[in-house]
Structures are given as C-alpha cells and as structure tokens.
Amino acid sequence: MASVLPRCISVRLPALATVILLLMLVTAVQTSQGDKEPVYRDCVKLCVRTNCTGARLRGFQSTQPQYMALTGWTCRDDCRYQCMWTTVGLYEAEGYRVPQFHGKWPFARFLCFEEPASALASLLNGLACLLMLLRYRSQVPRQSPMYHTINAFSLVSLNAWFWSTVFHTRDTYLTEKMDYFCATAVILYSIYLCCVRTLGLKQPGVSSMVGVLLILAFTSHVSYLTFVSFDYGYNMAANATIGMVNLLWWLCWCWQNRRTLPYWWKCGLVVLLLHGLALLELLDFPPLLWVLDAHAVWHLSTIPVHFLFYSFLIDDSLYLLNTEKLGVKVE
C-alpha cells in the first residue's frame, strides 16, 4: 500500500518501488479474476436473495456477534465472504492459482479483522512510533529548534498508522480513503520536515512557503480523488513523485553532512532500508495460512526502522540545541 520513510516517516510504497508497481498493479487493483467469475457472482446473488431479506435477515442480525455489527459487517458482506471461499475451493480443486477478489487476496477473517496480519502490523508500527515519540520528548528539551516540527510530524504519522489499522480491519469506502489520504499527508509532511531541517532553520520564510505549497498540493490531491475520480494509478504516481523528492532531498543532506555529523548514517540507512523493504510488495503471493501476505510482511519489516529513525532525530535535535547554545553555524 507510497513512501520514503516509514509511516512514521512516510507511508505506502517508497518511490522506486512504486514506479515498478505502478506498471504492474494499476489495472489489477480495479478488477480481479475472482469477483469476475460467474460462479462467484451467482453465489452472491443467491445468498443475498435467500439470506438477506425478511426473517432470514432478522435471524442473521440477532445471531451476529456485536463486534461484527459495530464494525459494519452486513449480511451482504457475509455472503461475499462465504462465496469467496467457495470460489477459492473450486479453483484449488481444479489446480488453478488462487485468484484475487476486489483487488485483494482472500484472507481468513479473525473476529472482525478482515486482514489480521496487516492490521496487527499497522498497530505495531503505530505503537513503535508512539513509544519513540515519548522517548524523544523525554530526551530532547522543548527548546531544540526541531522539537515542535518533529512532534507534529509524529502526530501526523500516528494518525496514518491508526487509519491503516482501521482500513486493514475493515475495508470500506471511508476507511480506504482515509488510509490513502493520511498516507499522502505523511509523505508531504516528511518533505516539510526535511525542508525545515535543511533550509528552514536558516531561512524560516522558505520553509513557510514550502509548507503552504504542500498544503495546497494535498488539498488538490484529496479534492481530485474525492470529487473527480478515485484513480489508483494517479494516486500511486503522485506518491511516487513526492516520495522521490523526499528520498533525494534526504540523501543529499546526508551526503553533504557525512564528514561533520557522526550520526548521518542513521538517516541514510533508514531511507535505504525503507526503499529496499518496500520491494517485498513485489512478491505479491497468496497469503500464507490465508493470513500473511507480502503487504503484511512489508509492514512487519518496517517496525524496527522506527527505532533507528528516532535515534537519528534525537541525536540531531540535541546537536542543534547544543550548536544554538554555542552560537555555531547549523549544518
């Protein structure tokens, strides 16, 4: 699911991986073999007609667990879920590869969690982000020049991981939009974070103008996807573009400061790790045990990166605070 740093740094696929996936997945995410199968469609129609009206519907609602009702699972959703597995069984019986349904692999539902592994991975990323934010606040004085920018960035990231968890728990029109929009917000804010660190400390006006431009870009992006067309290809291309800007900007800063800042490698390694790990998405295999797919593996692999990234932020914030006290020029 466009990023340069983790959702604590940026979200979805990093730029290089997104460019590759863009060519492979734009069509696939809109149509899938499984939900085009007549056996699936006929099964859903029969199930809905038989079970989702009158007394049968009332019976379903009376026996449905409360947590399923609260997360919006309807009788029709349950029909689609059951018919998905009927179709998967037929594919496997005939020796064919398991198909996708509505742009996703079939997952075994756990309680109300539609994609249990990805939901858990998103939650753990959010907890790692929160833990390191609390550590950052405990070790870095508020007087540090980047303190408030990093705090705001972390809150935007936590919001993105929250919606990622919700989306993987229950995929709906609203949760999908929030997951995508919040992902883009983190990528854009990571550009702003980089701008403040590289230019804004010496030229606050520049970072302010960049911030306004990024807000306008985000507003335009969300407006287009909401009111014109929710175009997956456009969304991936947009995230790839801003992700590449973020990537190159951070790497240039690391290169320029490699001789003066002993902790520069942490930032460079985080950027490279995130782009390398995102290539796990290219595996795109049917879920192991109907739970663990490539997307979940990618999200799980990014959890440790938060600790390295915040280690960099703590080192850099303390460096900036000390140089400010000494009146030394900031690099």
Split at pLDDT 50, 70, 90, the class of 237 is confident
Per-residue pLDDT, 330: 53
Domain 110-326 class?
A: mainly alpha
Residue 17: pLDDT band with limits 50, 70, 90: very low
- Answer whether residue 18 shows pLDDT above 70: no
Within 71-203, residue ranges assigned H as helices are 75-93, 116-139, 147-169, 173-195
Give the C-alpha separation, 3 to 240, whole Å. Answer: 7
> Which DSSP state fits 282?
G
3-state secondary structure of 288: strand
Residue 131 CA from chain centroid, whole number: 19
What is the Cα–Cα distance from 275 to 15, expressed in whole angstroms? 7
pLDDT at 327: 60
- Residues paired with 292 in a beta bridge: 288
Q: How confident is the model at residue 29 (pLDDT cuts 50, 70, 90)?
A: very low
Which of 176, 138, 134 shows the shortest CA–CA distance to 155?
134
Q: Where are the domains of the chain?
A: 34-94, 110-326
Which candidate, 172, 249, 176, 179, places its Cα nearest to that of 214? 249
Q: What pLDDT sits at residue 34?
A: 79
End-to-end CA distance of the chain: 35
pLDDT tens string 266-303? 999 998 888 778 777 777 788 888 888 888 998 999 99
